[in-house]
Amino acid sequence: MLFVSQSLCPSSGEIAIRVFRACTELGIRTVAVYSEQDTGQMHRQKADEAYLIGKGLPPVAAYLHIPDIIKVAKENEVDAIHPGYGFLSERADFAQACVDAGVRFIGPTPDVVRKMGDKVEARSIAISAGELNPFHLFPQVGYENAGTVEFLVDKHGKHYFIEVNSRLQVEHTVTEEITDVDLVHSQLRVCEGRSLPELGLKQDKIRINGYAIQCRVTTEDPARGFQPDTGRLEVFRSGEGMGIRLDSASAFQGAVISPHYDSLLVKVIASGKDLPVASAKMSRALAEFRVRGVKTNIPFLQNVLSNNQFLNGTVDTQFIDENPDLFNLKPVQNRAQKLLHYLGHVMVNGPTTPIPVKAKPSPIDPVIPPVPLGEPPVGFRDVLLREGPDGFAKTVRAHQGLLLMDTTFRDAHQSLLATRVRTHDLKRIAPFVAHSFSNLFSVENWGGATFDVAMRFLCECPWKRLQELRALMPNVPFQMLLRGANAVGYTNYPDNAVFKFCEVAKENGMDIFRVFDSLNYLPNMLLGMEAAGAAGGVVEAAISYTGDVSDPMRQKYSLDYYLKLADELVKAGTHILCIKDMAGLLKPDSGRLLVGALRDRFPNVPIHVHTHDTAGAGVAAMLACAEAGADIVDVAVDSMAGMTSQPSMGAIVACTKGTKLNTGISLEKVFDYSEYWEVTRGLYAPFDCTATMKSGNADVYENEIPGGQYTNLHFQAHSMGLGNKFKEVKKAYVEANKLLGDLIKVTPSSKIVGDLAQFMVQNALTRAEVEERADELSFPLSVVEFLQGHIGIPHGGFPEPFRSKVQPTQRISHSNFHPKALKDVRGQIGAPMPGKVVEVKVKQGQQVEKGQPLCVLSAMKMEMVVNSPLSGTVAKIYVTADSTLEGDDLILEITE
């Protein structure tokens, strides 16, 4: 006898495999059918033969194509068809088609299937038969083979008839475990003509032994309303052992879970002498499962099995609604798989960050210079803790000699090593700094790009970095760079987010907040200053410097402009006034002029000067600023200084030694400090700017590229294949700056200029061509958002007519990815689950009503209609028929 199982689909082949195994045990050969989407599924391998049906049809339609199934049966001399509990198992027309083809249908007659499938008629028959007795019901209709009667039971034990399933039930395994009756064997024998007494199935002989529980382990995410998840099973290990039965579907390592059918991986059946024993076995088995690559419902099942109401057997139909803690899901760690994936990815594809150079990390480990035992000496942080921000500022202003801020822990490696220095290497040298440089004004070790890079590239926690360094350097103030309303991000954040960020930063060890805005936009700066002050930090308001105050031809950013800005910052209550010279444009004469004017105007406010040494004049400029009245200047240790970093610590210490500007710092300690960083820098050779740059360049006085961006821009140019065109990129940077109205250039405004410059070089566009074609070009997103005012208003206003020509079109260059629907944007309709678009029911420009169908998705065994949540006009459609979507992918936009 040959045999075909059609019911592969709703449970990914699990019932088909169950039937095939029963047939094999009884010496019956088996034939499987499968759809094109099920080509790789396990049920094909469990049958003796397998044939494709529904070629070219959608996944669901393939298994509903009765002519194909009957054709396979007739061509291969199939004697009987077992419908399992799949799509056609309760279709009277399918049962009739089997009879007409001379093939046995393993189930009731077509007439009985029809009667039982009609809920109203089934209820009428049940009433006439006496609804509490299924055995009366079955003779009433002449029922043959297996079937299931479903009831609801109230708290008084009264039964209420629901329906009859004229087929094997999904939960038939529970019946088998507690009765020791093989229901599939019995179905096959009955189909052969055997009677129930011949099979030993007499009611008085059937006993219920103990308890059994069935759990369907599925690739559904309980945290997202049990939405089906799809993907490849990277790891699959099941729970086994005494009292555990597994009816598997397509659960094996490497299996691909498609969106076309049910998400079942395996049915787990636990049995024991009572409910607590069965529950304990099931809990243990589920805990042994290891499924990686897709989400599963196992955490939810584990919560159910630990619930007292469930364990006491008192659950009802409101159980899930009344127990929201069932959805307090323990996150899966998946550490080993993540590590293996990372290592494998790096070994095969190389580093995740594209590195355009072949430099290798140095094999030499840096040697930490000796550190004395005991606590480090008292430093300026002790003054801050004792006197508070105001007293700290007075002490700084009254200090004799020049104070230094060390940028080695932040801006130096941002400028030279793409911010890639790990917390590990900072912690190793931190105790030496605490003991040897206790008279530093501060160590800059946080903020700016370090926050972003730590999370995005180093896979580190920036907060943990701050905490650990604070413990190792308790005596030296910490300083961070705060981008005003941008905090440490690249866009303006809500006020309360900036305030909370500063509060938590202060709690975790930050002391001094250097607050700036890339456009010197006062509202953004005042927000950052207020947030830092409210947190209890020292506020250091920074004037972002560009141009040349000593050049009478550069009038946009004149001395008067800076003095008026400083008036506002001092009026707002800054403790320290900073000049932030990102590109290293502050020449010695300009420094004397600007610092001298500020010192005359604000005799009691400490002045702090920051610069980059890109042109090579940084030391001279800082010495000039100090002579003119600056209290603090920024430096980096010698081996991490120069070029796009800060001026050399050793040079300034040496040049001021024996003068009124004496720093009080030991040159010998600087040498030891520098030696550590010289070797440490070698560990980051692939990111070192010297791999592509061999010197600083005085052309910065022309292009005004900030130091931190200069190396990044060079790095990006090489990564984009423009390494031989970096000179053109720098020239385009000048033109892009003019197009945008001559901006102060520091993150994020510098990025906007850089993006436009690289856009111009990539597309071989001159400044005149960009201006002429501004209404048709697809500009980088950062440029469009700047012209929309996302980061503030630049000094002198936006460039016209360039801005007006760009704004009407707002064409934006995007990478190739499907956008996500933003949940807080009304009218953006996202995919409710992963799936395939079967049909788009509306057109762009069409008027739609609330509740009107927009499109149809097919996922697993479901076809879902996505309805409109509002009335309006279809503004844009992002999908077509056959588009494959992930959850929340944007389907269309509706405007009201």
Question: For residue 741, what are the CA distances in angstroms to 490, 749, 794, 799?
Answer: 20, 12, 8, 5
d(CA 528, CA 515): 6
Residue with tokens 């010998």: 668
d(CA 389, CA 392): 5
d(CA 518, CA 81): 74
Tokens (6 digits) for 841: 């029911």
Tokens (6 digits) for 885: 């979507």
For residue 401, give the DSSP letter: S
> Beta-carbon neighbour count of residue 431 at 10 Å?
16
Instruction: Fill in the amino acid letter for 398.
Output: A
Q: Are 648 and 619 in contact (CB under 8 A)?
A: yes
Q: Are 246 and 308 in contact (CB under 8 A)?
A: no
d(CA 737, CA 739): 5
d(CA 625, CA 628): 5
Give residue 647's Cα distance to chain centre: 39
- Rounded to a whole number of angstroms, the CA Rg of the chain reads 37
Q: Name the 3-class secondary structure at 32.
A: strand
Q: Name the 3-class secondary structure at 467.
A: helix
**Farthest-apart Cα atoms in the chain, separation:** 113
Give residue 845's Cα distance to chain centre: 33
866: alpha, beta or left, given left = phi > 0 and alpha = psi -120 to 50?
Answer: beta
Question: For residue 434, what are the CA distances in angstroms to 50, 429, 537?
Answer: 74, 9, 21
Three-state SS across 75-105?
HCCCCEEECCCCCCCCCHHHHHHHHHCCCEE
Pairing assessment for the beta strands 576-581 and 607-611 based on DSSP bridges? parallel
d(CA 883, CA 877): 12
Give residue 404's Cα distance to chain centre: 40
H or E element that contains 872: strand 872-877
Q: Alpha helices, DSSP H only, in 59-212?
A: 59-63, 66-75, 92-100, 110-117, 119-129, 134-141, 172-179, 183-192
Identified catalytic residue from 18, 44, 114, 167: 167
Q: Are 711 and 417 in contact (CB under 8 A)?
A: no
Q: Are 86 and 74 in contact (CB under 8 A)?
A: no
315: alpha, beta or left, given left = phi > 0 and alpha = psi -120 to 50?
Answer: beta
d(CA 351, CA 367): 27
Whether 167 is catalytic: yes
Pairing assessment for the beta strands 104-105 and 835-840 based on DSSP bridges? unpaired
Residue with tokens 């009254």: 398
Sheet holding 104-105, edge to edge: 49-52, 31-34, 3-5, 80-82, 104-105
Nearest to 473 by CA among 441, 433, 444: 433
Which letter, b or e, does each residue of 405-414 get, where b requires 16 or more Cβ atoms within 10 Å of its Cβ? bbbbbbbbbb
H or E element that contains 161: strand 159-165
Angle at 586 between CA 581 and CA 589, to 5 degrees: 155
Instruction: Fill in the amino acid letter for 94.
Output: F
Q: Which residues are catalytic?
A: 167
